[in-house]
């Protein structure tokens, strides 16, 4: 490749800088709602659908199943999630959001999206739509 594109940083370098910036922007939002990043990730995964096991949840969010136990304990203590025995197999714990968990997730997500809107406001509308479409297309989770 020659021309101006050959002088650009690697995609991983640009994506990593953007990701770090976005995570840094989310930290105060999460703190204001008294939820950890992992807590928010768990709430988001359970907002889409209840999970049949903690191991399935861990796989869905890309976490070690032993690492999320403390997060699940905290969310349950705050009545944000429920872990109930499966009536068909009492060794299995069904995980789902409570109404309070759903409300908290929606509030955090709205505040995060407001910050994203401020960031994206610097783009022309066509560029913004293209950027979001390309991110979705390249997202391995959507593949």
CATH number for the domain spanning 52: value is 1.10.10.10
pLDDT band (50, 70, 90) for residue 3: low
Domain count of the fold of the chain: 1
Instruction: Give the pLDDT of residue 4.
Output: 62
Structure tokens at 79: 């009545």
Which tens digit of pLDDT belongs to each residue from 78-111? 999 999 888 888 788 889 999 999 999 999 999 9
Distance in angstroms (rounded) separating the CA atoms of residues 36 and 54: 18
Which tens digit of pLDDT belongs to each residue from 20-73? 999 999 999 999 999 999 999 999 999 988 898 888 999 999 998 888 999 999
Query: Domain range holding 74?
Result: 8-113
Q: Assess if residue 67 is contained within a domain.
A: yes
- Is 131's pLDDT higher than 90? yes
Asked if residues 85 and 61 have their Cβ atoms less than 8 Å apart, the reply is: no
Instruction: Give the pLDDT of residue 105.
Output: 98
CA 113 to chain CA mean position, Å:
12
């Amino acid at each position: 490749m020659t021309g101006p594109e050959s002088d650009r940083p690697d995609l991983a370098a640009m994506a990593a800088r953007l990701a770090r910036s976005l995570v840094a922007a989310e930290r105060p939002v999460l703190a204001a709602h008294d939820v950890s990043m992992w807590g928010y990730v768990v709430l988001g995964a359970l907002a889409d659908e209840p999970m049949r096991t903690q191991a399935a949840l861990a796989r869905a969010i890309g976490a070690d199943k032993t690492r999320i136990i403390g997060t699940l304990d905290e969310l349950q203590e705050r009545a944000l999630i429920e872990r109930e025995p499966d009536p068909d197999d009492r060794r299995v714990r069904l995980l789902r959001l409570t109404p309070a968990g759903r409300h908290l997730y929606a509030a955090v997500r709205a505040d995060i999206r407001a910050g994203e809107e401020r960031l994206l406001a610097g783009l022309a509308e066509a560029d913004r739509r293209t950027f979001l479409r390309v991110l979705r297309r390249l997202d391995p989770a959507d593949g």
